[in-house]
A and B are shown apart, each in its own frame.
Chain A
């Protein structure tokens, strides 16, 4: 019973009481900040270590979960915020927080050098971008060969009848990746044609998953031939031995970036600002580049293994703020068109 428990809770309460009474200067030197994040497991350690190495007086306490859960949690806590800063959460979620006035505007030092897409348009800035990931098609080569299903090269290919019941994609109503995909199609094609396109794709979709990672993983296991997912998950599956092709469609791809933003009402403003500053240093971007193919600082071309030969060029133009604003409307339409049809199956 030595794990997080009532004991720890009591100890925490006691510690708070003790600091209040004694105000030990040695303890007060290191500020602990609560960081909400959706970064992957293996990124947390290196990020924390690198930051704490450079900024000695601030300590990171991660609260990590999937994008949906962290977003839901942050919103549930909006009257009584518990996070000091967000570091590594989808920009669409962060933009949503911004539209709800839940973020503290702050322009960190050194933003001039960043790519334009990685800066929030307001001044002072509501958030800054870290890295971006691209939407991709994961194609199982073994199953494809077995079933005689060719690899798609474009988004348009997915409407072909040969893919019937072989496509899996995230449900935009429960997955941020799913929404990002749907919104990307709307941006690329225009709203009307995009719905027409999705009508056709819907006929080929076997399952809408609740998670953005699931499609590439399912494709990797051969449960389906094609998964609509994102580059990092596809690359990872391939590295681990899945018979996958990670395809970047010719039309270009939707993307989302991970962002940093200070939470309005934080009691550790100074420490939070230090992290916001550090998050856009060159060191930080080099770190991000170990995991992602696209980062916010121009001139770096990281190439993590098994990523599709990508380029910033593949990134289509997306207004992140508008993407957040349109969310309710688009999801309602999507649910009306496809959720009900699937339910009546």
Chain B
């Protein structure tokens, strides 16, 4: 780093353009940052790019590992039974999206734009499903509408097993995800626009269609894509309640676990990757068009009471919230029943997981361990990664690569990632093969699976910081590490907590990402739910699902308390 001034190539002397190009000398912080970015790229390559690459190459091989070109794909697309799943998956995803979007929009509208009572309660209630594994609503629905279900008559002879059941369960599962986005979108509103519309004599309906809806447009689109991706990549629901209705996610499982046909599993994985990536790319492109609708001068909207609307919304939220509560309560009740439907006396026996699964409660502790490691390691890696990308200068190629790879996991379904890990970590040449079948590989997998959302959260927090902190530090001869420790991390602490809690809860509930990766010692609670349900121990499966809900809820409450306490101490500066 001593040659700082190099003449421009082919420069002719005496012409202004021939002035030597200056290259900035790197100081310790620069070197550290670049090293960090290189490490980040290596990390993401190792946990994401290379596994996906091995999946891709596997889909072009036969069972003996010989390259067969497109043969597997040709077989896939010429087998109607397999191919039909593509349409089934799309159909379920579109249906679920079409149902969840208006419901969640109305619910979010009630929470943000009305003077309805009990908003806090309704909001909390609607967000609970996020804490539950996706299998929980499916299990509840079987108890409610299955052949021995308590509300079976409501189906008028129809069956809950199949497409209808999948869609219903998905609606429950996706609702809070959409709700969060829409609440955020609807919270941002400029009261002046509404005043203007009112002054101009626009009717309520007209105001809704000309002001409210356009204002929340990007939130609606984003929520739509999120639901679509969640549904199409979810594995648990279709497995439990899908009956004879095949979707892509269960096809992968069938190919790999049922038939040990890894190559075809890889093909289905690649097929599943397509709609997810298309949805993700479309969302990105549309979001890019979003300009700041909200100027800095916007006046926050304070809803005014309007009894007919408020009570109408109250009734609506009461029904939706009641359904959510009903589904949760059903699982809880079912988990306490001795022998459905013949012996309805209450028991805690279903929580003695050792009777239903070899590993019993151990799987729960494994899940806690996994979640703790995922939250711990993941938060550090993701936050430092976001910091490097946000705050470093120069090295544009490296940053672009890392940024792309940080956004990619959003589009990679958990099953696909999990399958790709099998291939990658089992390859004979891989020196990290020792990670195979350990808890560590599931930690890596979970961090990668949930990387993007956390990365975006961290990036948003970092963007809100003054971009000149680093320049000031440099002028004061203070190293970046020190500034990071003294300023960046303390200021971003709420976001850091959000990231870690997100990782924790998701690692507790995820099934699809780890279903191929666990081993006897490291079996997880969420996988145990699948296995117990598969073996018919539905009550025990419900019990484990409820155990996860209670754990996640406890962690969430602890998080809220800690955040509140933090605000009292380390975040004192936020108060005026």
Contact = CB atoms under 8 A, between A and B. Distances in A.
Interface string A308-324: 00000000000000000
Contacts of A80: 426-428, 433
A3 B536 contact: no
Interface stretch (A210-218, A255-263, A282-290): A210-218
B239 interface: yes
Nearest to A77: B426
A331 B259 CA distance: 9
Contacts of B67: none
Contact of B536 (A41, A77, A213): A213
A277 interface: no
Interface stretch (B311-319, B447-455, B518-526): B518-526
A27 interface: no
B245 interface: yes
Interface string A200-231: 00000011111101101110111110000000
B373 A343 contact: no
Contacts of B65: 79
Residue among B65, B82, B256, B433 with max Cβ neighbours from chain A (10 Å)? B256
B40 to A, nearest CB: 20
B80 interface: yes
A142 B259 CA distance: 35
Contacts of B147: 222-224
B536 A342 contact: no
B439 A6 contact: yes
Interface in A21-65: 40-41, 44, 62-65
A72 B260 contact: yes
B534 A209 contact: yes
Nearest to A327: B259
A343 B244 contact: yes
Nearest to A69: B257
A342 B245 contact: yes
Main secondary structure of the interface of B (DSSP, over half): helix
Contact of A220 (B81, B244, B260, B536): B536
B325 interface: no
Contact of B246 (A44, A214, A331, A342): A342
B209 interface: no
B531 A66 contact: yes
A76 interface: yes
B262 interface: yes
Interface stretch (A115-123, A191-199, A332-340): A332-340
B440 interface: yes
Contacts of A223: 142, 146-148
B428 A343 contact: no
B392 interface: no
A128 interface: no
A9 interface: yes
Interface stretch (A129-137, A149-157, A169-177, A291-299): A169-177
Interface stretch (B337-345, B503-511, B559-567): B337-345
- What class of interface size applies to chain A in its complex with B? 35 or more
Contacts of A218: 536
Contacts of B340: 221
B243 A214 contact: no
B262 A75 contact: yes
Interface in A1-24: 1, 3-6, 9, 13
Contacts of A243: 342
A343 B440 contact: no
B369 A1 contact: yes
A82 B437 contact: yes
B512 interface: no
Nearest to A337: B81
Nearest to A37: B520
A96 B520 CA distance: 23
B534 A210 contact: yes
Interface string B79-94: 1111011001000000
Nearest to A342: B244
Nearest to A43: B358
A68 interface: yes
Given A64-B520, A207-B244, A222 B369 contact: no
Contacts of A4: 366, 369, 438-439, 521-522
B473 interface: no
Contacts of A336: 79-81
B81 A339 contact: yes
Nearest to B365: A3
Contacts, number: 160
A320 B113 CA distance: 68
B244 A75 contact: no
A73 B147 CA distance: 35
B247 to A, nearest CB: 9
Given A174-B258, A221-B536, A206 B426 contact: no
A177 to B, nearest CB: 11
Contacts of B531: 66
B426 A210 contact: no
Interface in B342-363: 342-343, 354, 357-358, 362
A242 interface: yes
A14 to B, nearest CB: 13
B161 interface: yes
B494 interface: no
B339 A3 contact: no
Nearest to B338: A241
A242 B341 CA distance: 10
B84 A344 contact: yes
A75 B58 CA distance: 14
A345 interface: yes
B339 A242 contact: yes
Contacts of B536: 211, 213-214, 216-218, 220-221
Contacts of A173: 254, 258-259
Interface string B159-181: 10111000000000000000000
B372 interface: yes
Contacts of A207: 161, 243-244
Interface string A241-266: 11100000000000000000000000
B537 interface: yes
A71 interface: yes
A210 B254 contact: yes
Nearest to B357: A41
A6 B435 CA distance: 10
Contacts of B437: 82
B422 interface: yes
A63 B534 CA distance: 19
A52 B340 CA distance: 41
Interface in B364-390: 365-366, 368-369, 372-373
A342 B25 CA distance: 67
B538 interface: yes
B535 interface: yes
A233 B374 CA distance: 37
B332 interface: no
The 9 closest A-B pairs by CB, nearest first: A217-B536, A174-B258, A342-B244, A41-B358, A211-B534, A340-B81, A339-B81, A213-B535, A174-B254
Interface of A: 1, 3-6, 9, 13, 40-41, 44, 62-66, 68-69, 71-73, 75-77, 79-80, 82, 96, 142, 171, 173-175, 206-211, 213-214, 216-218, 220-224, 240-243, 327, 331-332, 335-336, 339-340, 342-345
Given A62-B520, A345-B162, 5 more contacts: A3-B365, A6-B440, A76-B262, A174-B257, A223-B147
Interface of B: 65, 79-82, 84-85, 88, 142, 146-148, 159, 161-163, 239, 243-246, 250, 253-254, 256-260, 262, 339-343, 354, 357-358, 362, 365-366, 368-369, 372-373, 422-423, 426-428, 433-434, 436-440, 443, 519-522, 531, 534-538
15 contacts: A5-B369, A65-B519, A72-B262, A75-B262, A77-B426, A80-B426, A142-B342, A171-B254, A220-B536, A221-B340, A243-B342, A327-B259, A340-B80, A342-B246, A345-B244
